Amino acid sequence: MSGSTPLLDQVKVPEDLRKLAPKKLRQLSDELREETISAAAETGGHFGAGLGVVELTVALHYVFDTPRDRLIWDVSHQAYPHKILTGRRDKIRSIRQKDGLYGFTKRTESEYDPFGTAHSSTSISAGLGMAMARDLDGDDNNVVCVMGDGAMSAGLAYEAMNNAGALNSRLVVILNDNQMSIAPAVGALSNYLSWLTSSRPFLSLRDIGKHLAERFPRYIQETAERADEFARTMLFGGTLFEELGFYYVGPVDGHNIDSLVPILENVRDADSLGPILVHVVTEKGKGHPFENPNNEKYHAVAKFDSESYEFKKAAANAPSYTSIFARALIKEAEKDEKIVAITAAMPSGTGVDKFTDEFPDRSFDVGIAEQHAVTFAAGLATEGYKPFAAIYSTFLQRAYDQVVHDVALQSLPVRFAIDRAGLVGNDGATHAGSFDLTYLCCLPNMVVMAAADEADLMHMVATCVSIDDKPSAVRFPRGEGSGAELPDEGVPLEIGKGRIVREGSKIAILSLGARLQECLKAADELQASGLSTTVADARFAKPLDEDLITKLSRGHEVLITIEEGAIGGFGSHVLNFLAKSNLLDTGARVRPMSFPDEFVAHGGQDEQYEDAGMMAADIVKEVFAALDDTASAKAKA
């Protein structure tokens, strides 16, 4: 730990926190912030958002009776302080490590995590469901949803707010605004106004005024309504939220705990109101130890020295796939002015920030709005542009209807650059790119590629540019490449054609994506056991290279397919082709290898692939199992 934490040492669970005098909460917040920094130094992980909500976390657990009162952290990368206060301090240095605490809230981890959240903008919908269940049960507990301001850019949040306003169920939404994009300057006056507008006397006066105005002539009513709306707009900025049916309180200084606590107490005790939105302004990374931090860069950090604050990140052995994608796209865009790039609030995570540096007018960050990003790209494609929608695999799931209806159905040439395909390590199952092969390969009019190495990725970006009559997708993993020699620029590949990487005669391994290096290691082991092994790189999951598959099936005793995705993807399509071609009985014994039918827990990427059974040793084991089956079948014959 970074130092003495006498108050925090007394708080094992929020019930202990609520025994403290209010004047002690400032010191507790300071100790909690230091503990959060100390833990992050050892583990890395999401950092800035958690530091920004330290006081808010203390205030919420102090005012509300958690876990009976439900507290939902939207996205929940800001939940490290919450975990420390809710009985998990002794494990906080295991966060995001194998068998350690999960990096986001998780229902099975703690009763203080009523909803698992790792994707943005789900909390209000879930919270409203909990509130309605409470009402149906005749209970009286509170439901509180903490929204990051970025999460308010997603349509789901507004769908939920619209429904909440119509249902008029008691629900508290905290808008954590850490960019000051909505709020005016926050100070003593606005804190006082927020306390005043959340208090019972003000509510009563406002209600009395409303009823009196209804008895006046219409022109006086309209004047009063306009004055009220003007005052709320100028002083509180809450007209939008009140139009959605929420009572608006704010802005509130999210680091002034002396103001936060009484305002939240007023909100908690406002039984007569329906949904309430409390607008809290915070500073992302508040109290960070670094000089001149970049908010996006320090959103998540590597391990760092707790004394010098220097990062301990190991030097990269090879460029990351993300950086290679950016390089390839920039190369193509230098030759073709119709190429544009779109990202959904992840410019650096997808490499689009580098594209933006070169082509600012051809780059679009649409916020946390993947559905909009895809249909926006479709609109660009109708006008002859060549949009690349660079979206993480796990986030593209959120826009599947748009991929189907707005892109594939119309055969529009939107190019999907699918980053973080496969297992992603410490972020765990919520961020794994497990399903894109399955949900894309079933779509008509879709070309789906998977890069085996960095050079392949450059060629596949060029291939996407060349496809002008249908949508295409290239998927690539998180992290470093394999060290492949890079071309000066990509060259379009022949659509639907794979390649033989190593020739053999008895065993065939058909790889799709970045497991190719493990396949080559497996081939070495098999060769050492006297089993001559062919290794092929499919390159395309759709359309399949049917000639290559036929050759591998007819010329080998065992055919293994391997992919970084769930069942229903590449291997399933290979089996379907072999079955229709009557090759399952006359060709090789086929064993598809894909992710297990479960969500793979967080840990290092290699640890995850070991858990998933996708390493070289697992491939060798699968080959010998297939050979045993073959021998048994021959013996029975």
Active site residues: 284, 370, 398
What would the DSSP string read from start to end of 545-607? -HHHHHHHHHT-SEEEEEESS-TTSHHHHHHHHHHHTTHHHHSPEEEEE---SSPPPPS-HHH
369-397 burial, b at 16+ Cβ within 10 Å, e below that, comes to: bbbbbbbbbbebbeeebbbbbbbbbbbbb
Partners of 474 in the β-ladder: 417, 449
Q: Does residue 115 sit in helix, strand or coil?
A: coil
Neighbouring C-beta atoms of residue 334, cutoff 10 Å: 12
What would the DSSP string read from start to end of 290-346? SSS--TTGGGEE--B-TTT--B-PPPPSS-BHHHHHHHHHHHHHHH-TTEEEEESS-
Q: How far is Cα 519 from Cα 556, in angstroms, rounded to an integer?
A: 16
Whether 376 and 364 have beta carbons less than 8 Å apart is answered as yes
HSE toward the beta carbon, residue 88, CA cutoff 13 A: 25
> How long is the chain?
637
What are 562's two structure tokens?
A: 């391997």
Q: Does residue 390 sit in helix, strand or coil?
A: strand
Neighbouring C-beta atoms of residue 466, cutoff 10 Å: 15
Assign residue 265 a region: left if phi > 0, alpha if psi is -120 to 50, beta otherwise?
A: alpha
> In the 8-state DSSP scheme, what is residue 486?
P
Residues with Cβ within 8 Å of 70's Cβ and at least 6 positions away in sequence, in order, are: 114, 115, 127, 130, 141, 142, 143, 144
Q: Where are the beta strands (DSSP E) in 351-437?
A: 363-365, 386-392, 415-419
Whether 85 and 53 have beta carbons less than 8 Å apart is answered as no
Q: How far is Cα 213 from Cα 224, in angstroms, rounded to an integer?
A: 7
Element (H, E) at 509: strand 507-512
Q: How far is Cα 578 from Cα 588, in angstroms, rounded to an integer?
A: 10
Residues with Cβ within 8 Å of 273's Cβ and at least 6 positions away in sequence, in order, are: 170, 203, 247
